[in-house]
Amino acid sequence: MLEENIFRTEADDPGSKMDTKDHSFKDFLESGWRQELISHEEAGTWPEQCRGCLDIETTGLKSYRLEVINDKHRHLHVQTGNICDSDCVMCGPQWSTKVMSRLKMKPDPEKQYLGKTNVPVRSIWNEPASIENLREAAKWTDHIHFGGGEPLIDKRIWDFIETIARSDLSISFVTNLNTLPSARGFELLKSFKNVGMNVSIDATGRLYEWIRHGLSYKRVMTNLATIKTMGIGAAINCEVQAHNVANIPAHHSVFSGLGFLPDYYFVDRPKLLQASNAPKHVIERAIELLPKNVNEQLLLGLRYSLKKHDPQMSARLMKHTEYLNFHRKDLRFDCDAWEVFLGA
């Protein structure tokens, strides 16, 4: 069971409300929340917080639940906070201080980010109780997975990693890879059984830099080559959304040409950014240009997006795109050409 074997570090999960600042690992194991999830599994029913996977599976797509259902490992997911160097169009202030800054400067008229502009800036490395609880949980796990924000920004992560390093433990990171581990970090990673980087790259060239504003596509590609030469496993994650639908064939070509099989996930929230809200002809063209041997889940997702296309949502998306362009003055997304060009 997925939830039984994952101890999360944020109260962002709609079910647990458990945070490492206030709850020990023992609290998690004995919690009524966890026991309730186990009861649902035994009864074959769906708890409310798992409805996202149910919705995905109903469309014929593969959910995260199905990816890990036979996984016997014990996973520790560590959300290091919301300090981030990227203002991603699909992100919210609870995950990125850059998005928080954007929303404070000019609120989103579509209220796609739940109106959250005053989320506290958080770094788990400022919380001694959290660090101690995580250290205890690390004894239980055989795979520790760091997310953010951007987990590689704060170099204090290596102080913690040094205290838990062991040869039977695997470690991985969700990262935009605009920042590489420090020299010390690279050395510490040699102590682990396996090391992986799940690198978030949602497009190529200027479109990447528009979606993940503040990052450099050239730097990320250089850093990707660097970790490969160092023997660190890398996977490419792409969040398919309205703005990058037309780029997906090129994205697939670039990264499959580099020897990757990218994982494609369809953005569910904010709802306005779902791939189905791109112009109908854009989705149709993307499907037409995909190679025959493409990831079947990607093709299913695009076909489903075409099926649920809503012209009214597309019109709202155009207005929202202008809002995003206001904050990306060096780059502009042209809704007529459905591509990014250099701004004035």
Using the structure block, give the residue that is written with the tokens 């990052």: 215
3 and 104 part of one domain: no
Residue scoring higher pLDDT (69 or 278): 278
User: Is residue 66 in a domain?
Assistant: no
Contact present, 329 and 340 (Cβ < 8 Å) = no
User: Is residue 111 in a domain?
Assistant: yes
pLDDT category of residue 183 using cuts at 50, 70 and 90 = very high
140 and 91 part of one domain: yes
pLDDT category of residue 50 using cuts at 50, 70 and 90 = confident
221 and 257 part of one domain: yes
Alpha-carbon Rg of the chain, whole angstroms? Answer: 20
Opening angle at CA 246, ends 241 and 249, nearest 5: 105
Q: What six digits make up the tokens of 334?
A: 């042209």
48 and 77 part of one domain: no
29 and 126 part of one domain: no
Q: Is the dihedral of CA 98, 104, 106, 109 positive or negative?
A: positive
Contacts of 312 (CB under 8 A, 6+ apart): none
Average pLDDT over residues 302-306: 93
3-state secondary structure of 141: coil
User: Is residue 67 in a domain?
Assistant: no
224 and 331 part of one domain: yes
Write down the pLDDT at residue 235: 94
User: Is residue 34 in a domain?
Assistant: yes
Task: Write the burial class of residue 302 (CB in 10 Å: 0-12 exposed, 13-18 middle, 19+ buried).
Answer: buried
Write down the pLDDT at residue 13: 43
Q: What residue numbers bound the domain in which 322 lies?
A: 73-342
3-state secondary structure of 31: coil
Write down the pLDDT at residue 9: 43
Of 26, 54, 82, which residue sits at a domain end?
54
User: Is residue 60 in a domain?
Assistant: no
163 and 305 part of one domain: yes
Of 9, 27, 54, which residue sits at a domain end?
54
User: Is residue 218 in a domain?
Assistant: yes
pLDDT category of residue 261 using cuts at 50, 70 and 90 = confident
In angstroms, the Cα distances linking 257 to 77, 222, 249, 253 are 31, 16, 12, 6
User: Is residue 153 in a domain?
Assistant: yes
Q: How far apart are CA 280 and CA 207, in angstroms?
A: 19
Q: How far apart are CA 54 and CA 230, in angstroms?
A: 39
Q: How many CB atoms lie within 10 A of CB 227?
A: 21
Average pLDDT over residues 28-46: 80
Terminus-to-terminus CA distance in the chain, angstroms? 52
Kindly report the three-state secondary structure assignment for every residue of 32-53.
HHHHHHHHHHHHCCCCHHHHHH
User: Is residue 59 in a domain?
Assistant: no
- pLDDT for residue 285 is more than 50: yes
Pick from 10-14, 156-160, 180-184, 289-293: least confident: 10-14
CATH number at residue 250: 3.20.20
Residue scoring higher pLDDT (62 or 284): 284
Opening angle at CA 102, ends 206 and 309, nearest 5: 60
50 and 89 part of one domain: no
Task: Of 62, 30, 44, give the one whose Cα is nearest residue 1.
Answer: 44
Kindly report the three-state secondary structure assignment for every residue of 231-278.
CCEEEEEEEECHHHHHHHHHHHHHHHHCCCCCEEEECCCCHHHCHHHC
31 and 132 part of one domain: no
143 and 213 part of one domain: yes
152 and 108 part of one domain: yes
312 and 277 part of one domain: yes
- Domains: count for the chain: 2
